[in-house]
Amino acid sequence: MPTVEELKYIKSWSWGGFFVPWIFLFINKQKKLAWKILILFVLIQIVSFLPFFNISGTSLSMIGNLKFLNIIYFGVCIWIGVRGREMVWDNKVYPSVEELKTKQKSVTKFNWIFLLSFWIICMALYMSFAVKYIQNPAALENQIMEMALSDAKSKDINLNQDEFKAGYSFATSTDIEISTSTKVMLFSKTDSYRKGFLYSYSIFCMDKYDNEMACTKKILEAGIVR
């Protein structure tokens, strides 16, 4: 039986489990759970970097998916941080608390190696794909528009590409509050034009408020959705 002090350690917070939970679990021989968390982590990175490659089908809805996945992953990190050591001890991985403590040094070492390596890789990817957008903001705006167009075309095969782009471009010059004259003008335009406007306006609104509900409300209040 562990002593009172040892029990405190077993039930205490694990920074190693919090920062990189799947490394913590692999080192502490909890492989099934470790693989599940690692897959979730890799999925988040894939969703994060797909837009840089301009892959067809990388819709704007991925932004919402990424937020959802990040919330799940963060929750998992907290859970392993709180329960990790106790989970390992309950599964009788180590015969003594001292061995459990010793193994956590390996967790710390591998966490640092991974975090530094991951940071270097992310910076390299960022420099490779994002610098051109920093130097040329118009290229970034065009990239986002092409992603919006790809998403819209996947939902409407009759979408007119030129009209969509015209509506999208017009929205970039529109104030966050849609004026009466803008509403009247939009109703005189094609469905493809209005869709382009709505895609661009949604991005602009989310950038300003970061609140999907508020932006949806503004679009509905404007009455430009048929």
DSSP state of 179: P
As a whole number of angstroms, the distance between CA 86 and CA 63 comes to: 35
* pTM for this model (two decimals): 0.59
Q: What is the phi/psi pair of residue 30, to 5°?
A: -110, 65
Report yes or no: 151 and 61 within 8 Å, Cβ to Cβ.
Answer: yes
HEC string of 122-176 equals HHHHHHHHCHHHHHCHHHHHHHHHHHHHHHHHHHCCCCCHHHHHHHHHHHCCCCC
Q: Where are the domains of the chain?
A: 4-129, 136-222
As a whole number of angstroms, the distance between CA 96 and CA 83 comes to: 18
Question: Which among 181, 224, 184 is positioned nearest to 205, based on CA atoms?
Answer: 224
The beta strands (E) that lie in 46-154 are given as none
As a whole number of angstroms, the distance between CA 141 and CA 16 comes to: 39
Along the 226 residues of the chain, how does pLDDT read in single tens digits?
788 999 999 999 999 999 999 999 999 999 999 999 999 999 888 877 765 554 444 444 455 567 788 899 999 999 999 999 999 999 999 999 999 999 998 999 999 999 999 999 888 877 776 666 666 666 767 777 888 888 888 888 889 989 988 888 887 766 666 777 777 787 788 888 888 888 888 877 777 777 777 777 777 766 665 5
Q: Is 56 left (phi over 0), alpha (psi -120 to 50) or beta?
A: beta
State CA 106 to chain mean position distance: 29
Q: State residue 181's pLDDT score.
A: 78
Q: What is the phi/psi pair of residue 29, to 5°?
A: 65, 35
**Structure tokens belonging to residue 176:** 């966050």
